[in-house]
Structure 1
Amino acid sequence: MPKIVTVTNQKGGVGKTTVTCHLAFAAQEAGKRVLVVDFCGQGNASQFLTQDLRINKQRGGAETLFSSNELKFSDTPWDNLKVLHGHLYLEELDKKEDELLKLAIKLRPAIRSLPFDYVIFDTPPALGPRIAGPLFWSDTAILTVQPKLSSITGLDDTFDTIKGVKRINHGLSIRMVVNLFTKSSKTQRRFREDLQKKFGNAIIEEFPLRTPVSDALENFKPVWQHARDKKLGQHWKMFSKRVLDLGV
């Protein structure tokens, strides 16, 4: 039975794909069998992991989890890392929200029996079955949030979804990552303090805004293989291993 992790927040641009890809890189480096399911229509995680920049224009991939079709995984340069890709047509799933949420509950045993050690979901910046479905199936939800008003205001709706999901998935563990934090910003420091007061021990990591992290993915690598700043790379690697219970 795989360990299933969903990376989420209905706000875009907060680093969900960055966290997803680094978790996947860490797991495959440890020799684990990894599946990334990219429910985001932009398909950036799929592009970074498969190195196919046009994969987000192809149907199939993530949507097949909700169908009777055979799952066809996309290959990556690593034999033990597969992808169910994201693409531009995934928004069509949102129009069938009620139907798919009921189906997601029924699919839980099948998803939790997939032949992988880890299944990691990247989710879109919009509430609906592409967020709620993975949460029904997951052991852990990682909420990625930037200490900015536009990011924090989306948390209430995300937590409303989580509250509903936990009526079915009682064991879902909620963790939070503060990302893209600019400590020189007085406003961001204030929002960071507010997050700490509200969520406390649920916040498991904090990452500053650093260009080498996004540059690494643009070069199809985790930051620990790309950045000259070894401390930064080690920070991301230790976080990823801790989330995945790989030991540090």
Structure 2
Amino acid sequence: MFDKRRIITIANQKGGVGKTTTAINLATALAAIGQRVLIVDLDPQGNASTGLGIDRRNRKISSYDILVGEASVGGAAVETAVPNLSIVPSTMDLLGFEMEISQASDRAFRLKKALVSEGAEKFDYILLDCPPSFNLLTMNAMAAADSVLVPLQCEFFALEGLSQLLETVDQVRRTVNPKLDIQGIVLTMFDARNNLAQQVVNDVRTYLGEKVYQTLIPRNVRVSEAPSYGKPAILYDLKCAGSQAYLQLASEVIQRERMRKVAA
């Protein structure tokens, strides 16, 4: 229905790889260049919501409500302090979602249905921030998405976890979403002083080639501090290395979208 927008799932079944940080700061960078962006927080921990300054007491309507059909995207989306950026916040109610609808025939497509509800049409990009596991919430995200963006930490076990995730994407493509594609691999927490980190970068680029973004997201104290202030790093400290890297990443994402449209 809304063919001009892009729905991107940000996923990695491994925790601590910078997934939510990437969702928040990529969304902020896209919003800063004039794109209308929505984050849907699908993690019961609600870190994306907290990182954008949405107090738990103000999460009256959440992603759980849109998944069970009790609210539209327009009714659930909350504007953030970032112009052009809204979020459908998360609550702990999501913990019961899988059990509640496990027998429903449309259990993998609840989010896809929600993203054509009132209010969803106004966004250029919808970023889906998934929990660090492959469960029904992640399945819903992949079933609804055009593509998957994978944050990958520059560490020893990175390639092993990546292989598992790529197998998951293939499984989703075969079963519920044949159009699902890999948007790109984002290498996070890069430390130039660490020889192992550079080896991981080289290995991933050899393995996946152009699917890997050129931008490397560095380990950065300011990026780590920002969520505790309820701000994206780009607002907290625009000039820090992490913020600059996420701005570069947003430019790459936009460029890839342009190339995709030309190819289509």
Code of the aligned partner of 1:127: F
Code of the aligned partner of 2:54: D
Percentage of pairs with the same residue: 27
Per the alignment, residue 10 of structure 1 pairs with 13
Between 4-13 and 224-233, report the one with greater CA deviation. 224-233
Q: Is the 8 A contact 2:63 2:89 kept in 1?
A: yes
Which residue of 183, 188, 191 corresponds with 1:179? 188
Per the alignment, residue 27 of structure 2 pairs with 24
Cα deviation code 1:201-237 (max 9, x no counterpart): 1111322211122223433444344437466533321
Q: What's the offset of the Cα at 1:170?
A: 2.8
**C-alpha separation in 2, matches of 1:123 and 1:101:** 22
Cα deviation code 1:91-129 (max 9, x no counterpart): 222335754684333763652562222211111111112
Which residue of 144, 164, 172 corresponds with 1:157? 164
Per the alignment, residue 66 of structure 1 pairs with 67
Which segments of 5 or more consecutive residues in structure 2 lack a partner in the other structure?
259-264
Q: Is the 8 A contact 1:32 1:118 kept in 2?
A: yes
Cα deviation code 1:10-41 (max 9, x no counterpart): 01111111111112212332343322111112
Equivalent position SS for 2:77: coil
Distance 1:148 1:99, change over 3 A: farther
Per the alignment, residue 143 of structure 1 pairs with 150
Distance 1:101 1:144, change over 3 A: farther
**C-alpha separation in 2, matches of 1:194 and 1:230:** 27
TM-score w.r.t. the length of structure 2 is: 0.79
Equivalent position SS for 1:121: strand
TM-score w.r.t. the length of structure 1 is: 0.84
Does residue 234 (structure 1) correspond to residue 241 (structure 2)? The answer is no
Which segments of 5 or more consecutive residues in structure 1 lack a partner in the other structure?
none
Mapping of residues 28-43 of structure 1, within 5 Å: 28-43=31-46
Between 24-33 and 94-103, report the one with greater CA deviation. 94-103
Number of residue pairs the alignment of both structures matches: 245
Distance 1:78 1:212, change over 3 A: closer
Distance 1:126 1:136, change over 3 A: same
RMSD of equivalent CA atoms: 2.9
Code of the aligned partner of 1:239: L
